[in-house]
């Protein structure tokens, strides 16, 4: 199973490298959205510091959603998904590998660039670690939960809009915990509670969501 997962991750990363424009689009969207708020509301430092966690997290959430529709659509269009289903490989492992590859392409770059974005909001340097850690724990949850919505809307016309309606309510706890961790740290309080809840949520989602996604894929392929 590990060999299957490694092969699928390497394959998806190779395909993403061939479609670098798609990866760059999501990252550029994150940078643009997060950079527009300081221009729109002014340069008052206290106000910028107050809105920074929420703005950065919302921008990261929307950016990760841009590539969700392509998570299974390419394999569905060329028949690869059906071959994977018929191969006998555990579909939950296949889903986990594809969600991990999606996070490496769309989530990890956001974690790395978020501290640079935080400079625009005059965020204190000690908070950069909390911000990066919250995104490191939260963005994989976005990819795994998003895989459920991508599987349910696979092959549907206008599936992108339906996908957004399905996954956005499920993203709300991640958004609250991720932004709340940075806000607690900025107030001088311990952010351990929010970060531990994010870690627990990641574990629960990583264990159960791939099998729910696998069931949704079987329904869509039928």
Q: Is the pLDDT of residue 160 over 80?
A: no
Pick 28 or 80 by higher pLDDT.
Answer: 28
Give Cα separations from 86 to 1, 79, 136 (angstroms): 15, 11, 34
Task: Kindly give, in sequence order, each residue whose CB lies less than 8 Å from that of residue 107, ignoring residues fewer than 6 positions away.
Answer: 64, 135, 139, 140, 142, 143
d(C-alpha 183, C-alpha 35), whole Å:
19
pLDDT digits (tens, 9 = 90+) for 181-197: 999 998 888 889 899 99
Say which residue, 133 or 157, is predicted with more confidence. Answer: 133
Query: What's the whole-number average pLDDT of the chain?
Result: 86
Could you read off the pLDDT of 35-78 as tens digits, one per residue?
A: 888 888 877 888 888 888 999 999 999 898 888 878 887 777 77
Q: How confident is the model over 55-64, as pLDDT tens digits? A: 999 999 989 8
Percentage of the residues of the chain whose pLDDT score is greater than 90: 30
Q: Give yes or no for a contact between 28 and 62, defined as CB atoms under 8 angstroms apart.
A: no
Average pLDDT (132-137) is: 94
- What pLDDT sits at residue 68? 84
Task: Using DSSP, state whether 214 is helix, strand or coil.
Answer: helix
- Angle of helix 91-106 relative to helix 127-152, nearest 10 degrees, comes to 130
- Looking at residue 158, its pLDDT comes to 64
Determine the Cα–Cα distance for residues 18 and 14; give it in Å rounded to an integer.
6
pLDDT reported for residue 76: 79
Q: Is 49 exposed, middle or buried (0-12, 13-18, 19+ CB in 10 A)?
A: middle
Higher per-residue confidence, 89 vs 195: 195
Distance from C-alpha of 177 to C-alpha of 128, rounded to nearest angstrom: 16
pLDDT above 90: residue 122: no
Mean pLDDT of 172-183: 92
Look at 77-86, 172-181, 209-218 and tell me which has the smallest mean pLDDT: 77-86
State both tokens at 95.
Answer: 């889903």
Quick one: pLDDT at residue 136?
Answer: 94
Mean pLDDT (whole number) for 15-39: 85
How much is the pLDDT for 176?
93
Query: What SS3 state is found at 19?
Result: coil
175, pLDDT greater than 80: yes
Per domain, the residue ranges of the chain are 2-221
Note the pLDDT of residue 218: 84
């Amino acid at each position: 199973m590990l060999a299957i997962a490694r092969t699928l991750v390497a394959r998806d990363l190779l395909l993403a490298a061939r479609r670098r424009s798609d990866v760059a689009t999501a990252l550029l969207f994150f940078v643009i959205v997060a950079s527009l708020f300081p221009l729109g509301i002014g340069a008052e430092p206290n106000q910028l510091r107050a809105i920074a966690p929420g703005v950065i997290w919302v921008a990261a959430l929307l950016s990760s959603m841009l590539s969700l529709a392509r998570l299974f659509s390419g394999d569905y269009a060329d028949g690869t998904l059906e071959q994977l289903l018929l191969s006998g490989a555990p579909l939950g492992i296949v889903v986990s590998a594809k969600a991990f590859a999606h996070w490496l392409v769309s989530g990890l770059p956001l974690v790395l660039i978020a501290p640079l974005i935080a400079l625009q909001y005059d965020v204190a340097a000690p908070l950069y670690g909390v911000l990066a850690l919250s995104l490191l724990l939260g963005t994989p949850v976005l990819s795994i939960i998003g895989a459920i919505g991508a599987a349910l809307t696979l092959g549907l016309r206008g599936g992108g809009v339906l996908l957004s309606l399905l996954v956005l309510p499920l993203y709300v706890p991640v958004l609250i915990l991720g932004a709340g961790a940075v806000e607690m740290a900025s107030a001088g309080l311990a952010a351990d509670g929010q970060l531990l809840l994010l870690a627990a949520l990641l574990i629960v989602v990583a264990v159960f969501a791939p099998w729910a996604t696998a069931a949704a894929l079987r329904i869509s392929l039928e």
